[in-house]
Amino acid sequence: MRKVIIKEPTLNTILVSCLRYYKREVGGLLTGYRKNDFWFADNAFLSTIDGFCSIDYEKSKRNLRKLREIVEDMNLSVVGDFHSHTDYADETYVAEPSEDDLKDMLKNPGWIFLILEMHKQRRKQTWKRAIHGGFYGSMGDNYFCSMRAFCVNIERKRKYDDVKIICPEISSFNFS
């Protein structure tokens, strides 16, 4: 199984960003490097418009393009993106690529794609590894997060494959 290694500060940025703008689907870019079947996510950059996250999908895509230009001008290599799916407005989202996500994935086949499902929790859960290689658990008293990583399947037997998330610090994320 392919793997993505996420540094703790990078994961913190992703989780805090998704919690901060919980009612909106938010996202950003991951920078780092790739070596064979391993991605190394060293940094995460949240995509915002005038300091706020957009719920307009087209504006978000334009903003990600601008963010990519800025990041690449800093001589950082974009290795993927992250975004959240929330349960806001009585819709249930899961940490799986939507049809729009699949279209974007096919435009960047060498990238890693991290999707976080965020919703209000019914009961507190310690962070655990999921069978698909991701993680899930509670964030404080109010929220639940399921996190999965994907990459485009080059052989095209399937559109995408799960990627195992490696983050040694995740076991310490059992928020009080």
- Whether 24 shows a pLDDT value over 90: the answer reads no
Torsion of CA 154, 111, 42, 5, to 10 degrees: -30
> Could you tell me the pLDDT band of residue 109, with boundaries at 50, 70 and 90?
confident
Tell me the pLDDT tens digit for each residue of 141-170: 888 888 999 998 877 667 889 999 998 777
- In angstroms, the CA 176 to CA 173 distance is 9
**Per-residue pLDDT at 39:** 96
User: Does 173 or 75 have the greater pLDDT score?
Assistant: 75
CATH code of the region 3-172:
3.40.140.10
> Could you tell me the pLDDT band of residue 113, with boundaries at 50, 70 and 90?
very high
Q: What is the DSSP letter of 90?
A: G
**Per-residue pLDDT at 176:** 44
- Whether 105 shows a pLDDT value over 60: the answer reads yes
Q: What is the DSSP letter of 170?
A: G
**Per-residue pLDDT at 174:** 54
**Per-residue pLDDT at 119:** 83
The DSSP-derived string for 109-168 is TTSEEEEEEEEE-SS----EE-TTS-EEEEETTTEEEEEEEEEE-TT-SSSEEEEEEE-G
- In angstroms, the CA 46 to CA 44 distance is 7
What one-letter code names the amino acid at 139?
A: M
> Could you tell me the pLDDT band of residue 6, with boundaries at 50, 70 and 90?
very high
- Whether 20 shows a pLDDT value over 90: the answer reads no
Task: Please state the pTM of the whole predicted model.
Answer: 0.85
pLDDT cut 70: percent of the chain above it: 82
What one-letter code names the amino acid at 163?
A: V
Tell me the pLDDT tens digit for each residue of 30-87: 999 999 999 999 999 988 654 445 555 455 677 788 888 999 999 999 999 998 887 6
When pLDDT is averaged across residues 113-132 and rounded to a whole number, the result is 86
- Over the chain, what is the mean pLDDT? 82
